Each structure stands twice: as structure tokens, then as C-alpha cells.
């Protein structure tokens, strides 16, 4: 079929019309007439053996001339069947991924001219790709060799190549990642029946009762698919792991290996069996490589004690939190021991919707882990912040009352705990959570057990005839609360008044000039110092926090603040900018709140964080703030939108 997606679009466009003007084609596909001519030539090379040719009628446009109807009809059927495996090569990102996939499945050198033909770019463009990718290759201990008389080749060990393929070429849109296979996944694994593989792994895990979240289950499928694909192409991983397969799971590993051998006609080496075992450990809780429970309990205790000292939130006796953090730290340390990186697809959602929990986790974890062998990544801290956030919700609510629904959450225990905690805050007298389960468990759930269920709350789009389903974001945004109940829980007038007191007319700026991030922060620091709110330690603490993680909550709002509590008063300085300021990399913002918190006043700012979250999620409020040219208009915009 066609080697890339744009050719498919051109062919489909022409095939549906008697005549296709060149101008219309170029405008529709956003390409030049020269590119169009080149693409038509490529299409015709394929069509010449399939009973047709694309021809041009002068001053009219392109049309399809069919000389063998039978051949052409067979071609159309085959084209339709193969569409799901076509990958779009219409962007630089797509072409680079396709180019990398070719190289990583190539044993010998391949010439730049040959590669250019396959990726449909010039050799100079390929050279630019290679130049830009060199820093990324080095992170994975890989090197691209370019020999003038031979071509290019990637060298490195198989383990590093697999990590590179997973983390660089594949991507994950969280909800779709769980429930479907993407075109990129079909492209990378075109020689594998992914649905059959998924079914095999699910049944094997179910048989031995290994529980795993939907997100981790998909991770496992992708790693297994990559393994099968690489083995089919005779790329085997070295058996260099210093980890012995636990006897309890040896028969399971052997059984699933035998099934994969039989289904995909491959031979599984001992190295591949270890590869299965390692990723099973990384994506579940079947084994503990870090056998130091006492040390992990000490880490959890120190973390909660640090939160109590720095933020005055006493979570030390929350048994749910103690257990969840212990299990989660075991999982994190196992992954660190295996030198694997676990990405957090919910990181931006967590930072935007639970900023208080994230900052508590970031500052506390940074202190705890600074002297340990492992430093935690921002993705890992994001997961920890969910557990802490759920603990804070329980702390503020007093207790969690069990609720009458099924809760389906595809991303694991941390997110389901957070969603459960927030549901109990907003609807504690209205719902009864009968069970929390994954998507894969739900689709295999006995239908008779659904008879007493009134409705389902799910973070994943699903359909069911007899029971209403409410699909929500795990962060339970305002629109999700409206879906679940007409009685929308809002920040009450009293809460708003308690939060408004932290703003001040003397700490308000509206700027109509261009300004850099550093210049803006210095202006806001000066306002804080002039009003005796901060000292010099505060400034260095804010700048250090900026170096750790992004503080722009979205593409319009930033919340800079110190890594520790070091203010003389609790206040918020506000800057509204007519011209966006570059905040992080390529991200710009126009609303900046500089936060100062006095030790001992942490619990008083709970509702202030609700205002921050409202700004992130409420487009109308953002626009009204941007149109606030004085302090009074700004405060009025808060009252209008939050009460």
C-alpha cells in the first residue's frame, strides 16, 4: 500500500471525484504543487501494478484512469484493510520517528539516499535530523555512526535500543493509550497481532491473580510487543541481569513464554524471560527487589513528619496514607533498582489541579531523598503527591464515608484513591462506592453483580446499556461535579472572603510593556519587600523552586513560590500582563501570582488554592482577570466567578 499517510489522502481525494483541480488539492493538503507532483509520481508507481494511473487533464486537474477494474477493486479492498497501519508523515516529528524506527530495525549501514527515499525528505534534512538527535542518543548510551561510503547505523546494546524505542518513538495520550492501540503502535508492531497479544497476557495474569492497573497493563503489552517484534527480527537482549526469577513466578514466566513462542513463531531466550520478569515487576507488585521494609517505613515516617513540621498538616496517623506510601515507595525503589523510568501521563493534570499537594510532595521529597542513592523524578513525585493529596482531603473532611456506585479508574491505586477521596468530599451523603476496579476488570465483571448498582463513575470512556455512566477526569473538575449532581459544590462566600484577604492593593500590577521573567519577578519581590512581607531568604527560595519544576499551571497562569515557608506574612502579589512573558522553555503566561506563606498559617490557605485551581479551569475568569486594569476590578472578577 502507500508508504505514508499523505499519499493515502491524495489518492482518496482524487478517487472520490471526477476531476481534482491542482489548486484545490494543494490548499486542502497544505502542500506545494511541486510536492503534489512528486507524490503523484510515487502513487503511480504503486498503481501501475494495480490496474490504474493518475493522469492530469490540462487546465482541469487530476483524475484516475482505470484500465483493469478487477485489479483496481482488489487494490481498494486491500487499501481499506491496511489503513490502520499507515502512519502519517506530514510533520517533522512523524518523519523523525519513522526514520528512527527504520534505523533501529536495520543491522547494516543504510545510505542517506536510501533513507531519504523511505522517509520522503532530502538528504540534507536527514543530516539535520541526525544532528538534532545526537544529544538524545547519548542519554541512552547509543551512537549513530555516519560513514561517507556506507551510510548510517545506530550502535549500542539491545536493552538501550528498546528503552529508546519505547520512550522516544511511542507516545501516550492517556485515555486512548489505555483503551486502544495507536497508529504509531500498529506501525511499529505491524508484524504482530496486538489484540491477540493483549488477550494472551490478560488471561495469563488473571490465571495467577496478578493485579495490575490499566495503565501499567498497557505498558506491559507494549514492552511485550516490542520484545516479540525485536526477537522476530533476531534482536535478542543479553542475559546480563543480576536478578534471579522468583521461584513463585518461574512457571508463570515459562508458561507465557511458551504461549508467545507458539503464537508468534519465535524462540524465547533466557534473556527475554528475564526481560518479561523485570517489566512485570516494574508494572505490578509481584516481587520486592528492595528488601528493606524498615528503611522504607523510616522514609515514609520522615516524609510525613517533614510535612507536619513545614506545613502543619498532621497526616502521621492516617493508616491509609501510611500503607499507600509504603507500597508506592517499594514500587518506586524497585523501578530505580532496575534502572527503568516510569512516566506519569497525569503529571500536568496533577500540577494544575492539586498544586498544594504537589508542592508539599516536591519540597518534602527533595529534603528526604537528597542523601539517598536515588533521586526521584518529577513524574514519580507526581504520583506521591496524589497519595498526599488524598490524605489532605481526608484530613480536611474528618473522615471518608463509604458510598452506592462502581468506580473505574485506569491509572492505578494512586489516582483511584485521589478520586475516591474527592468524591467523598463532594458527595459523602449521596453516593456509596461499592467497588474500585480497573477497566480490564470491569469488562470481565459478572453482569449479575451489576444488578444493585445505580450508576458508574469512570475515568475512561465506556458504554453500557442498562446502567448510567458518568465519565470524569480523575481530578474531578467542576464540569465533572456538575455531571454527577446538580447540587454543584462551590466555594462558599465565607471561603471566598477568607481567601480574598490574602490579596492587597499594594501588591497588584497591571503591565502593558514587554518584560522578561526575571524582571517581572524582581518587580514583584520589590513590592513584597516594600510591604515587609518577605526577607532575602524568600527570593533565593523562590528561584530554587523555579529550578526544580515548572510553576506555570497552564498556558496563561503561573504560580511562583518558595520551596519552604520563609515569609513574615501570608500574601499574594498579582501581576497581569498585556504582553505574554516567556516563563518556561516555549511556554508563556499573562497572569502571575507570587505566593508568600507564613509558618503556622498553612491551613488558612486551603481555600486560596481553590481559587488558583478555579483560574486554571475557568476560561471566563481568566479573561476577566486579564481585563482587570486595577485592583478593584480584579477582586470583583474573583467574586463574580467563585461565589
Confidence of residue 401 (pLDDT cuts 50, 70, 90): very low
**Same domain, residue pair 635 and 519:** yes
Asked which of 378, 396, 414 is the last residue of a domain, the reply is 396
Q: HSE-up of 619 (CA within 13 Å, CB side)?
A: 1
**Same domain, residue pair 225 and 353:** no
**Same domain, residue pair 382 and 305:** yes
d(CA 363, CA 385): 11
What is the count of structural domains for the chain?
A: 6
| SS3 assignment for 294-349 | HHHHHHHHHHHHHHHHHHCCCCCCCHHHHHHHHHHHHHHHHHHHCCCCCCCCCHHH
pLDDT in tens, 134-183: 888 888 889 888 888 888 889 888 888 888 888 777 655 555 666 677 76
Per-residue pLDDT at 491 exceeds 60:
no
| CATH number of the CATH domain containing 536 | 3.40.930.10
Per-residue pLDDT at 482 exceeds 70:
yes
**Same domain, residue pair 104 and 174:** no
- Provide the residue range defining the domain that includes 110: 92-156
d(CA 300, CA 327): 10
pLDDT score of 448: 67
Best-predicted range by mean pLDDT among 238-242, 279-283, 317-321, 328-332? 317-321
**Same domain, residue pair 436 and 410:** yes
d(CA 384, CA 13): 50
Residue 139, CA distances (Å) to 70, 81, 133 in order: 52, 38, 10
**Same domain, residue pair 385 and 438:** no
109 is a domain residue: yes
**Same domain, residue pair 102 and 63:** no
d(CA 277, CA 295): 25
Strands 433-437 and 405-408: parallel
Grid coordinates representing 413 are 491505586
d(CA 408, CA 405): 10
236 is a domain residue: yes
162 is a domain residue: no
Helices in 370-492 by DSSP H: which ranges? Answer: 378-397, 413-427, 439-443, 478-484
Grid coordinates representing 508 are 497588584
Helix (H) or strand (E) holding 231: helix 214-232
Per-residue pLDDT at 390 exceeds 80:
yes
161 is a domain residue: no
pLDDT in tens, 417-436: 888 888 888 777 677 788 88
Percent of the chain past pLDDT 90, that is, above it, reads: 20
351 is a domain residue: yes
Per-residue pLDDT at 114 exceeds 70:
yes
| CATH number of the CATH domain containing 472 | 3.40.50.2300
Give per-residue burial for 451-473: e unless 16+ CB within 10 Å, then b.
eebeebbbbbeeeeeeeeeebbe
Per-residue pLDDT at 95 exceeds 80:
no
pLDDT in tens, 232-291: 988 988 765 566 777 778 888 899 999 999 999 999 988 898 888 888 877 776 655 556
141 is a domain residue: yes
Per-residue pLDDT at 80 exceeds 50:
yes
Please return the burial class of 123, using the count of CB atoms within 10 Å of its CB with bins 0-12, 13-18 and 19+.
middle
d(CA 403, CA 485): 14
**Same domain, residue pair 424 and 333:** no
pLDDT score of 476: 81
pLDDT score of 508: 95
163 is a domain residue: no
pLDDT score of 515: 93
Q: HSE-up of 286 (CA within 13 Å, CB side)?
A: 25
Q: Which of 48-62, 457-471, 546-560 has the lowest mean pLDDT?
A: 457-471
pLDDT score of 19: 92
**Same domain, residue pair 113 and 34:** no
Q: Average of pLDDT values for 1-27?
A: 85
| CATH number of the CATH domain containing 123 | 1.10.10.10
**Same domain, residue pair 32 and 147:** no
Q: HSE-up of 497 (CA within 13 Å, CB side)?
A: 3
In angstroms, how far is CA 393 from the centroid of its own chain? Answer: 24
pLDDT in tens, 339-383: 666 777 678 778 777 887 888 888 888 888 776 666 788 888 888
328 is a domain residue: yes
**Same domain, residue pair 616 and 499:** yes
Asked which of 372, 396, 420 is the last residue of a domain, the reply is 396
**Same domain, residue pair 539 and 607:** yes
Asked which of 282, 304, 319 is the last residue of a domain, the reply is 282
pLDDT in tens, 590-604: 999 999 988 766 656
- Name the residue with higher pLDDT: 507 or 111: 507
pLDDT score of 53: 94
pLDDT score of 175: 54
Q: How many residues does the chain have?
A: 643
Amino acid at each position: 500500500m502507500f508508504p505514508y499517510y499523505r499519499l493515502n489522502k491524495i489518492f482518496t481525494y482524487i478517487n472520490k471525484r471526477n476531476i481534482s483541480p491542482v489548486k484545490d488539492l494543494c490548499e486542502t493538503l497544505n502542500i506545494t504543487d511541486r510536492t503534489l507532483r512528486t507524490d503523484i509520481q510515487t502513487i503511480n508507481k504503486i498503481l501501475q501494478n494495480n490496474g490504474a494511473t493518475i493522469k492530469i487533464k490540462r487546465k482541469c486537474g487530476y483524475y484516475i484512469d482505470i484500465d483493469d477494474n478487477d485489479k483496481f477493486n482488489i487494490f481498494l479492498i486491500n487499501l481499506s484493510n491496511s489503513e490502520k497501519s499507515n502512519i502519517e508523515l506530514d510533520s517533522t516529528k512523524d518523519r523523525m520517528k519513522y526514520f528512527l524506527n527504520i534505523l533501529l530495525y536495520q543491522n547494516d549501514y543504510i545510505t542517506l539516499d536510501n533513507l531519504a527515499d523511505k522517509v520522503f525528505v532530502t538528504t540534507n534534512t536527514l543530516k539535520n535530523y541526525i544532528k538534532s538527535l545526537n544529544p538524545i542518543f547519548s542519554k541512552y548510551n547509543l551512537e549513530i555512526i555516519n560513514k561517507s561510503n556506507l551510510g548510517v547505523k545506530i550502535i549500542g546494546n539491545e536493552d538501550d535500543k528498546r528503552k529508546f524505542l519505547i520512550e522516544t518513538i511511542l507516545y501516550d495520550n492517556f485515555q486512548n493509550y489505555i483503551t486502544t492501540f495507536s497508529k504509531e503502535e500498529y506501525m511499529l508492531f505491524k508484524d504482530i497481532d496486538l489484540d491477540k497479544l493483549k488477550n494472551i497476557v490478560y488471561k495469563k495474569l488473571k490465571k495467577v491473580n496478578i493485579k495490575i492497573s490499566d495503565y501499567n497493563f498497557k505498558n506491559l503489552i507494549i514492552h511485550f510487543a516490542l520484545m516479540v517484534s525485536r526477537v522476530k527480527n533476531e534482536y535478542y537482549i543479553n542475559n546480563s541481569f543480576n536478578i534471579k526469577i522468583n521461584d513463585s513466578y518461574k512457571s508463570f514466566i515459562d508458561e507465557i513464554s511458551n504461549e508467545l513462542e507458539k503464537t508468534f513463531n519465535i524462540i524465547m531466550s533466557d534473556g527475554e524471560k528475564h526481560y518479561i520478569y523485570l517489566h512485570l515487576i516494574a508494572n505490578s507488585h509481584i516481587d520486592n527487589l528492595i528488601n528493606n521494609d524498615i528503611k522504607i517505613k523510616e522514609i515514609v515516617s520522615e516524609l510525613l513528619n517533614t510535612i507536619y513540621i513545614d506545613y502543619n498538616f498532621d497526616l502521621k496517623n492516617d493508616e491509609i496514607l501510611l500503607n499507600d506510601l509504603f507500597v508506592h515507595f517499594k514500587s518506586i525503589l524497585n523501578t530505580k533498582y532496575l534502572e527503568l523510568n516510569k512516566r506519569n501521563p497525569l503529571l500536568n493534570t496533577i500540577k494544575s489541579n492539586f498544586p498544594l499537594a504537589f508542592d508539599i510532595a516536591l519540597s518534602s521529597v527533595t529534603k528526604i531523598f537528597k542523601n539517598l542513592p536515588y533521586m526521584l523524578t518529577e513524574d514519580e513525585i507526581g504520583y506521591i503527591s496524589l497519595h498526599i493529596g488524598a490524605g489532605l482531603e481526608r484530613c480536611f473532611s474528618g473522615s471518608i464515608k463509604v458510598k452506592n456506585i462502581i468506580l473505574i479508574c485506569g491509572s492505578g491505586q494512586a489516582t483511584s484513591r485521589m478520586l475516591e477521596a474527592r468524591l467523598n468530599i463532594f458527595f459523602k451523603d449521596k453516593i456509596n462506592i461499592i467497588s474500585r476496579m480497573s477497566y480490564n476488570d470491569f469488562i470481565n465483571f459478572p453482569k449479575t453483580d451489576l444488578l444493585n448498582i445505580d450508576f458508574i463513575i469512570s475515568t475512561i470512556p465506556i458504554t453500557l446499556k442498562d446502567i448510567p455512566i458518568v465519565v470524569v477526569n480523575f481530578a474531578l473538575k467542576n464540569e465533572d461535579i456538575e455531571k454527577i449532581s446538580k447540587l454543584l459544590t462551590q466555594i462558599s462566600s465565607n471561603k471566598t472572603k477568607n481567601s480574598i484577604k490574602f490579596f492587597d492593593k499594594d501588591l497588584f500590577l497591571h503591565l502593558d510593556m514587554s518584560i522578561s521573567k526575571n524582571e517581572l519577578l524582581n518587580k514583584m519581590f520589590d513590592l513584597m519587600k516594600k510591604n515587609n512581607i518577605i526577607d532575602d531568604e524568600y527570593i533565593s527560595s523562590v528561584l530554587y523552586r523555579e529550578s526544580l519544576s515548572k510553576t506555570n499551571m497552564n498556558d496563561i497562569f503561573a504560580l511562583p513560590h518558595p520551596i519552604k515557608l520563609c515569609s513574615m506574612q501570608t500574601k499574594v502579589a498579582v501581576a497581569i500582563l498585556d504582553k505574554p512573558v516567556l516563563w518556561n522553555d516555549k511556554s508563556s503566561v499573562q497572569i502571575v501570582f507570587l505566593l508568600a506563606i507564613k509558618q503556622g498559617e498553612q491551613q488558612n490557605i486551603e481555600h486560596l488554592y481553590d481559587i488558583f485551581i478555579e483560574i486554571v479551569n475557568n476560561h471566563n475568569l481568566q479573561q476577566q482577570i486579564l481585563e482587570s486594569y486595577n485592583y478593584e476590578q480584579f477582586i470583583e472578577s474573583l467574586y463574580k466567578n467563585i461565589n
